[in-house]
Structure 1
Amino acid sequence: MKKYIHAYISGIVQGVGFRYFAYKWAKRLGISGYVRNLRDGRVEVEAEGEEDVLREFIKKLEEGPLGAVVERVEVIWGECKNIFMDFEIR
Protein backbone atom coordinates (compact mmCIF):
# COMPACT_ATOMS: atom_id res chain seq x y z
CA MET A 1 0.00 0.00 0.00
CA LYS A 2 1.33 3.43 -0.94
CA LYS A 3 1.98 5.87 1.88
CA TYR A 4 3.26 9.40 2.41
CA ILE A 5 5.97 10.63 4.78
CA HIS A 6 7.07 14.09 5.86
CA ALA A 7 10.47 13.86 7.55
CA TYR A 8 12.83 16.29 9.25
CA ILE A 9 16.47 15.28 9.64
CA SER A 10 18.56 17.04 12.30
CA GLY A 11 22.28 17.07 13.01
CA ILE A 12 25.18 17.84 10.70
CA VAL A 13 23.16 17.33 7.55
CA GLN A 14 23.86 20.40 5.41
CA GLY A 15 27.03 20.84 3.38
CA VAL A 16 27.77 17.09 3.45
CA GLY A 17 25.90 15.91 0.33
CA PHE A 18 22.78 14.85 2.22
CA ARG A 19 20.30 16.05 -0.41
CA TYR A 20 22.09 14.18 -3.19
CA PHE A 21 22.34 11.10 -0.95
CA ALA A 22 18.56 11.20 -0.33
CA TYR A 23 17.90 11.82 -4.04
CA LYS A 24 20.07 8.88 -5.08
CA TRP A 25 18.31 6.49 -2.68
CA ALA A 26 14.84 7.76 -3.58
CA LYS A 27 15.53 7.20 -7.27
CA ARG A 28 17.00 3.76 -6.59
CA LEU A 29 13.95 2.77 -4.50
CA GLY A 30 11.35 4.28 -6.86
CA ILE A 31 10.12 6.93 -4.42
CA SER A 32 8.63 10.26 -5.51
CA GLY A 33 8.83 13.56 -3.62
CA TYR A 34 11.57 16.03 -2.75
CA VAL A 35 14.42 16.87 -0.40
CA ARG A 36 15.50 20.37 0.62
CA ASN A 37 17.60 22.24 3.15
CA LEU A 38 15.78 24.32 5.75
CA ARG A 39 17.02 27.63 7.10
CA ASP A 40 17.27 26.17 10.63
CA GLY A 41 19.94 23.64 9.55
CA ARG A 42 17.65 20.64 9.14
CA VAL A 43 16.83 18.75 5.95
CA GLU A 44 13.21 18.20 4.98
CA VAL A 45 11.89 15.27 2.94
CA GLU A 46 8.40 14.67 1.61
CA ALA A 47 8.00 11.34 -0.14
CA GLU A 48 5.46 8.83 -1.42
CA GLY A 49 5.89 5.15 -2.11
CA GLU A 50 5.14 1.66 -0.89
CA GLU A 51 5.25 1.49 2.91
CA ASP A 52 8.04 -1.12 3.07
CA VAL A 53 10.13 0.89 0.59
CA LEU A 54 9.59 4.09 2.59
CA ARG A 55 10.74 2.27 5.75
CA GLU A 56 13.94 1.27 3.93
CA PHE A 57 14.36 4.88 2.76
CA ILE A 58 13.99 6.15 6.35
CA LYS A 59 16.74 3.76 7.45
CA LYS A 60 19.00 5.29 4.80
CA LEU A 61 18.09 8.80 5.98
CA GLU A 62 19.02 7.74 9.53
CA GLU A 63 22.46 6.63 8.26
CA GLY A 64 23.11 9.62 6.01
CA PRO A 65 26.11 10.06 3.74
CA LEU A 66 29.72 9.89 4.85
CA GLY A 67 30.44 13.13 6.70
CA ALA A 68 26.91 13.60 8.03
CA VAL A 69 26.04 13.19 11.69
CA VAL A 70 22.34 12.39 11.87
CA GLU A 71 21.07 13.13 15.36
CA ARG A 72 17.35 12.76 14.79
CA VAL A 73 14.85 11.81 12.09
CA GLU A 74 11.27 12.88 12.80
CA VAL A 75 8.76 11.15 10.52
CA ILE A 76 5.08 11.93 10.11
CA TRP A 77 3.16 9.23 8.24
CA GLY A 78 0.06 9.83 6.16
CA GLU A 79 -2.04 8.54 3.33
CA CYS A 80 -0.58 8.76 -0.16
CA LYS A 81 -1.68 11.99 -1.85
CA ASN A 82 -0.26 11.23 -5.32
CA ILE A 83 1.09 14.77 -5.52
CA PHE A 84 4.61 13.98 -6.75
CA MET A 85 5.59 12.73 -10.19
CA ASP A 86 9.32 12.29 -9.54
CA PHE A 87 11.89 12.89 -6.79
CA GLU A 88 13.76 16.18 -6.86
CA ILE A 89 16.28 18.26 -4.95
CA ARG A 90 14.86 21.68 -4.11
Structure 2
Amino acid sequence: MGWSLSNPERYISEGFEPTPDEGPDSGLASVLARYLSLVDEAAADRMLDEDPLVREELLRMVEDLDVKQGAAGRRSILINAIRELLDFYY
Protein backbone atom coordinates (compact mmCIF):
# COMPACT_ATOMS: atom_id res chain seq x y z
CA MET A 1 0.00 0.00 0.00
CA GLY A 2 1.23 3.50 -0.71
CA TRP A 3 0.15 6.88 -1.87
CA SER A 4 0.97 9.29 -4.64
CA LEU A 5 0.69 13.05 -4.73
CA SER A 6 0.42 14.89 -8.02
CA ASN A 7 2.43 18.11 -8.15
CA PRO A 8 3.79 17.78 -4.59
CA GLU A 9 5.44 21.20 -4.86
CA ARG A 10 1.95 22.76 -4.78
CA TYR A 11 1.56 21.71 -1.13
CA ILE A 12 4.69 23.31 0.33
CA SER A 13 3.77 25.45 3.30
CA GLU A 14 5.47 26.88 6.34
CA GLY A 15 4.26 25.67 9.72
CA PHE A 16 0.48 25.71 9.84
CA GLU A 17 0.16 28.53 7.33
CA PRO A 18 -1.96 27.91 4.24
CA THR A 19 -0.12 26.88 1.10
CA PRO A 20 0.58 29.91 -1.09
CA ASP A 21 -1.99 30.08 -3.91
CA GLU A 22 0.36 29.64 -6.86
CA GLY A 23 0.29 27.38 -9.88
CA PRO A 24 2.46 24.36 -10.67
CA ASP A 25 6.21 24.97 -10.86
CA SER A 26 8.27 22.24 -12.53
CA GLY A 27 11.56 23.87 -11.51
CA LEU A 28 10.47 23.85 -7.88
CA ALA A 29 9.32 20.24 -8.22
CA SER A 30 12.78 19.24 -9.43
CA VAL A 31 14.57 20.93 -6.51
CA LEU A 32 12.01 19.54 -4.04
CA ALA A 33 12.86 16.01 -5.23
CA ARG A 34 16.56 16.71 -4.66
CA TYR A 35 15.81 18.18 -1.21
CA LEU A 36 13.74 15.16 -0.18
CA SER A 37 16.61 12.87 -1.17
CA LEU A 38 18.76 14.69 1.43
CA VAL A 39 16.40 14.42 4.38
CA ASP A 40 16.91 10.75 5.13
CA GLU A 41 19.06 9.09 7.78
CA ALA A 42 22.07 8.48 5.53
CA ALA A 43 22.19 12.09 4.37
CA ALA A 44 21.70 13.33 7.93
CA ASP A 45 24.72 11.27 8.98
CA ARG A 46 26.73 12.84 6.17
CA MET A 47 25.63 16.31 7.28
CA LEU A 48 26.57 15.50 10.89
CA ASP A 49 30.03 14.68 9.55
CA GLU A 50 29.96 18.05 7.72
CA ASP A 51 30.29 16.36 4.33
CA PRO A 52 31.27 19.14 1.89
CA LEU A 53 29.51 17.44 -1.04
CA VAL A 54 26.14 17.60 0.74
CA ARG A 55 26.79 21.23 1.66
CA GLU A 56 27.57 22.03 -1.98
CA GLU A 57 24.36 20.34 -3.12
CA LEU A 58 22.31 22.33 -0.59
CA LEU A 59 23.92 25.56 -1.79
CA ARG A 60 23.24 24.61 -5.44
CA MET A 61 19.59 24.05 -4.57
CA VAL A 62 19.34 27.55 -3.09
CA GLU A 63 20.89 28.96 -6.27
CA ASP A 64 18.48 26.96 -8.44
CA LEU A 65 15.47 28.34 -6.57
CA ASP A 66 15.44 31.80 -8.11
CA VAL A 67 12.41 33.48 -6.50
CA LYS A 68 12.05 35.80 -9.50
CA GLN A 69 10.45 32.97 -11.45
CA GLY A 70 7.88 30.27 -10.77
CA ALA A 71 6.02 30.00 -7.48
CA ALA A 72 7.99 32.61 -5.53
CA GLY A 73 6.20 32.04 -2.21
CA ARG A 74 6.74 28.28 -2.17
CA ARG A 75 10.29 28.67 -3.48
CA SER A 76 11.04 30.99 -0.55
CA ILE A 77 9.69 28.41 1.90
CA LEU A 78 11.98 25.71 0.50
CA ILE A 79 14.94 28.10 0.49
CA ASN A 80 14.31 28.77 4.19
CA ALA A 81 14.17 25.03 4.93
CA ILE A 82 17.47 24.48 3.12
CA ARG A 83 19.11 27.38 4.93
CA GLU A 84 17.96 25.91 8.24
CA LEU A 85 19.77 22.67 7.37
CA LEU A 86 22.90 24.63 6.43
CA ASP A 87 22.78 26.64 9.66
CA PHE A 88 22.18 23.56 11.81
CA TYR A 89 24.76 21.21 10.27
CA TYR A 90 27.39 23.58 8.92
More RCO (CA 8 Å, sep 6+): 1
Q: Is TM > 0.5 for Structure 1 vs Structure 2? A: no
What is the TM-score with the length of structure 1 in the denominator?
0.34
What is the TM-score with the length of structure 2 in the denominator?
0.34
Q: Which structure has greater strand proportion?
A: 1
Task: Please tell me whether Structure 1 or Structure 2 has the larger radius of gyration of its CA atoms.
Answer: 2
